[in-house]
Copies of this chain bind each other. A is one copy, B any other.
Amino acid sequence: MATLTDTDRAIRESGLRRTVPRAVVAGALRAHAGHHTVGALQGFIARAYPEAAGMARSSVYRALEALEGAGLVVAVRAGQEETRFEWIGDRGHHHLICEDCGHVSEVELAAAATLEREAKRDHGFSTRVRHLALRGTCGPCAGERRRAG
């Protein structure tokens, strides 16, 4: 698990300043597992950090952008829904999003590393695949579909 110091260091290493809004947003995400909307985050912040209760929505977005750039947060854009944000610390993970039932499962995907190697070897492109969101059909829904025809 990332500590507050880890968070600060990751932010600094991205060439960014450690500021109150960023710390508050990071704290709110770390305290609540799962993927949350910006509105939900504002709610968490208003409750847990009264001094930052009036934080502007645009500042929440910008703090999230900074944390995403530092590799601490992933943005999950599932279908049409509002973007959600999730704390990942320094471990990457991926999402399988069922287009039928909307369920999101978090998984490790070894093929992500394969992807990185292929991009480097065949195209000289350096990349770090921190987060993939794959849309499709989950096992239970695939079963339903076959039964329903």
Give residues in A with beta carbon < 8 Å to B. 65, 77, 80, 96, 98, 105, 107, 109-112, 114-115, 117-119, 122-129, 132, 134-139, 142
Contact = CB atoms under 8 A, between A and B. Distances in A.
A129 B123 contact: no
Nearest to A142: B126
Copies in the assembly, this chain: 2
A109 B118 contact: yes
A136 B142 contact: no
Given A123-B139, A125-B136, 11 more contacts: A96-B127, A98-B125, A110-B118, A111-B111, A111-B114, A111-B118, A119-B134, A124-B138, A124-B142, A125-B134, A126-B137
A105 B109 CA distance: 24
B118 A115 contact: no
Nearest to A80: B65
Contacts of A138: 124-125
Nearest to A65: B80
Given A128-B136, A129-B134, A136-B128, A123 B111 contact: no
Contacts of A124: 138-139, 142
A101 to B, nearest CB: 12
